[in-house]
Chain A
Amino acid sequence: MAAITNEKADRLPVYPIACGVNRKLLNGGKGVSYRDWCHDPKLFAQAFIEGQKYFDFDMAIGLMDLSVMAGDLGAHVRMDEQNTPFVDKHIVNSLEDYEKFEVPDIKKGRSGVLIEGTRLFSKALAGQVITAGFLEGPLLALSQTAGAERMFMDMFTDPSAIHKALKVITDYDAEMVKAFGTTGCNGLCWDYLWANYSCLGDAEYGEFEAPYAQKLNKLTGENGMALAIHNCADLPHLDTQITKFKPAIYSMAYYPLIPGSPSASEVIEKGYADNCLVGGQIDPQLFIRGTVEKISKVTSDLCHEVKTALCKRGLNGRYCIASGCEVPPDINTKLENIKAVVDVTKKEGRLN
């Protein structure tokens, strides 16, 4: 909490975004399938609780996956037993289909699991760590439901059709915000993925998501939750999403091979951590493909990079050592690598 408020902190906070992977700790260590985990609020919550006991994180953010809303809006979701499910059949085949969107019953489907699961783990972990719900932004949910390519082209040729669907999805999001507001979680983390200069410019993002996001950001605060934003894109719109949206926490990734992708120190040097706890940017792949030695070295290097940049900027612990995106919920993800990130940060992330 000290890191968020820029008060004197004893170390950098740490949270590899371990969500679905925690299900491997359930059932006495035998794990449960992804399908079971994401359809049962008790299993969903218990995974975060067990993850906290095992890894000793500083946060718990209730991310399920990015096909929750699309599935409840009617798209077909291909469920994987041991990995992230995804939409394999979209529901928009013509411009008229954008007008058929309806807000689903959020007590049913996986929306209901998400809310009830968040309620359970937020209650169990209250006072121990910062807890947050997780919700897809309107443009992300629409792209998952309609198909991204179709949506992008329709934005170009028939923007009014897109806005009709976005208004309905914003209403859906608003109902979800109000429900999350009753769960006791400290914050709500939004995924506004398309704020990415590889995909949309300021004008497009300003037309197709920012106004809806601003409404939902305001509603988040009105419902007693701190605003958090996750954006694992390569070239995020930091001026819009940090400077303008003013989140308490901003989670981001780093793509060293993409020119212009901002590193942790660059983000701090440019002032984005002045009023926001920025989190990132360990490559999620390392949790599957890396060794403990490799990921420990990467974590140690990141701690030192961040501490140097924070010191130059006159900031305290305003950076959370985290993965740039979710730790893959893949069955092959190595739990020891997650543990290594936490342990190394607690040692190397100490602040004088």
Chain B
Amino acid sequence: MFSVLIVTTEYDRLAYQTHRRVCLSKEEILNKLSDAVVTGKIDQAKAGAKEALAAKMEALTAINEGLVKGMSIVGDRYAAHQVYLPQVLMSAHTMYAGLDILLPAIPKAQADNMTKCTVAVVEGDVHDIGKNIVKTMLTAGGYDCIDLGKDVPTEKIVSTAEKEKVKIVALSTLMTPTMDGMKDVVDGLVESGYRSKVKVCIGGPPTSPAFAKEIGADHRDSNAQDCVAWLKKAV
């Protein structure tokens, strides 16, 4: 009897250690997700996301306290010029790799509560790094982002805003000649009757607060994190 007890206890200890190796604690999983984003390790983010779901963790918790936490760290480091564009882009792709696994697991009711926004580079311009960084920070900020891509016709931006009932339209351009495309979008939203239901943010090197005011946009920013902070208050 005594020997059986010893064997059983030893078995339990080994089983517990194995379980610890295979099943990380909630905190360990969240740290794994955050670290994956900070270091740009896509495979680690995918594995962490799967482990979060296997551990019955709420998908939104894994996103907000894991992936988004990591992206916020990267955003702060970028703003402080401690990391640069290659690292930020890798971290963004890593976050999206985790999101691809976690987003489908969000219950519909929770997903429907997320504020929708759309991001686009206006027609005639194909420079989309700035737009992609804004999209990343919006996603990290808890927004449901519809990315229309680059060189997007005005009509598509306006119709998407209406159809998807977005609350935010974020527009980007790098080039001076395509700035007028931003005005076209604002005018299109006015004509469609949807302007009052949406905040329009613009960004890109040639834009300015004065230009935003001139075309009837709500906000202009040169920093994606600051823009998200403004939206949190405005929407």
Please indicate which of the listed interface residues B90, B127, B132 has the most CB atoms of chain A within 10 Å of its own CB. Answer: B90
Are the CB atoms of B85 and A198 closer together than 8 Å?
yes
Instruction: Tell me whether A204 and B86 are in contact in the complex, defined as CB-CB below 8 angstroms, given that A88-B151, A285-B206 are known contacts.
Output: yes
Are the CB atoms of B90 and A153 closer together than 8 Å?
yes
Note all chain A residues with C-beta closer than 8 A to B127: 148
- Bound-state CA distance A268–B132 (Å) is 35
Note all chain A residues with C-beta closer than 8 A to B208: 257
Instruction: Tell me whether A328 and B84 are in contact in the complex, defined as CB-CB below 8 angstroms, given that A156-B40, A157-B90, A257-B222 are known contacts.
Output: no
Are the CB atoms of A197 and B222 closer together than 8 Å?
no
Q: Assess whether B198 is interfacial by the CB under 8 Å rule.
A: no
Are the CB atoms of B129 and A156 closer together than 8 Å?
no
- Bound-state CA distance A257–B86 (Å) is 23
- Bound-state CA distance A198–B78 (Å) is 8
- Bound-state CA distance A337–B86 (Å) is 39
Q: Give the nearest-CB partner of B127 in chain A.
A: A148
- Bound-state CA distance A257–B203 (Å) is 12
Note all chain A residues with C-beta closer than 8 A to B179: 285
Are the CB atoms of A328 and B176 closer together than 8 Å?
yes
- Bound-state CA distance A83–B209 (Å) is 25
Q: Assess whether B126 is interfacial by the CB under 8 Å rule.
A: yes
Note all chain A residues with C-beta closer than 8 A to B89: 149, 152-153, 156
Q: Tell me the smallest distance from the CB of B105 to a CB of chain A, in Å.
A: 27
Note all chain B residues with C-beta closer than 8 A to A197: 81, 84
Are the CB atoms of B175 and A156 closer together than 8 Å?
no
Instruction: Tell me whether A156 and B128 are in contact in the complex, defined as CB-CB below 8 angstroms, given that A201-B81, A284-B176 are known contacts.
Output: no
**A contact face: mostly helix, strand, loop, or mixed:** loop
Q: Assess whether A40 is interfacial by the CB under 8 Å rule.
A: no
Q: Which of A86, A257, A258, A328 contacts B126 (CB 8 A)?
A: A86
Q: Assess whether B193 is interfacial by the CB under 8 Å rule.
A: no
Q: Which of B40, B85, B128, B129 contacts A200 (CB 8 A)?
A: B85
Are the CB atoms of B177 and A83 closer together than 8 Å?
yes
Note all chain A residues with C-beta closer than 8 A to B222: 255, 257-258
Note all chain B residues with C-beta closer than 8 A to A255: 205, 222
Q: Give the nearest-CB partner of A201 in chain B.
A: B84
Are the CB atoms of B132 and A199 closer together than 8 Å?
no
Note all chain A residues with C-beta closer than 8 A to B205: 234, 255
Q: Tell me the smallest distance from the CB of A137 to a CB of chain B, in Å.
A: 17
Q: Give the nearest-CB partner of A151 in chain B.
A: B86
Note all chain B residues with C-beta closer than 8 A to A204: 84, 86
Q: Assess whether B50 is interfacial by the CB under 8 Å rule.
A: no
Q: Mark B203-228, 1 if CB is under 8 A from A, else 0.
A: 00110110000000000001000000
Are the CB atoms of A156 and B86 closer together than 8 Å?
yes
Instruction: Tell me whether A148 and B129 are in contact in the complex, defined as CB-CB below 8 angstroms, given that A204-B86, A285-B206 are known contacts.
Output: yes
Q: Which of A156, A198, A284 contacts B87 (CB 8 A)?
A: A156
Q: Tell me the smallest distance from the CB of B121 to a CB of chain A, in Å.
A: 12
Q: Assess whether A99 is interfacial by the CB under 8 Å rule.
A: no
Note all chain B residues with C-beta closer than 8 A to A152: 85-86, 89, 129
Q: Assess whether A84 is interfacial by the CB under 8 Å rule.
A: yes
- Bound-state CA distance A285–B179 (Å) is 10
- Bound-state CA distance A197–B85 (Å) is 9
Q: Assess whether B93 is interfacial by the CB under 8 Å rule.
A: yes
- Bound-state CA distance A148–B133 (Å) is 13
- Bound-state CA distance A200–B83 (Å) is 8
Are the CB atoms of A330 and B86 closer together than 8 Å?
no
- Bound-state CA distance A182–B43 (Å) is 53
Query: Can you show 12 pairs from A to B with CB atoms below 8 A apart?
Result: A86-B125, A86-B175, A87-B126, A152-B89, A153-B89, A153-B90, A153-B93, A156-B90, A197-B84, A201-B83, A285-B179, A330-B176
Closest 8 CB pairs of A and B: A156-B86, A152-B86, A199-B85, A330-B177, A201-B84, A155-B86, A156-B90, A328-B176
List 18 additional A-B contacts (Cβ < 8 Å) besides A88-B151, A148-B129, A204-B84: A84-B177, A87-B126, A148-B127, A149-B128, A152-B85, A152-B86, A152-B129, A156-B87, A156-B90, A157-B90, A199-B84, A201-B83, A284-B176, A285-B176, A288-B176, A328-B176, A328-B177, A330-B177
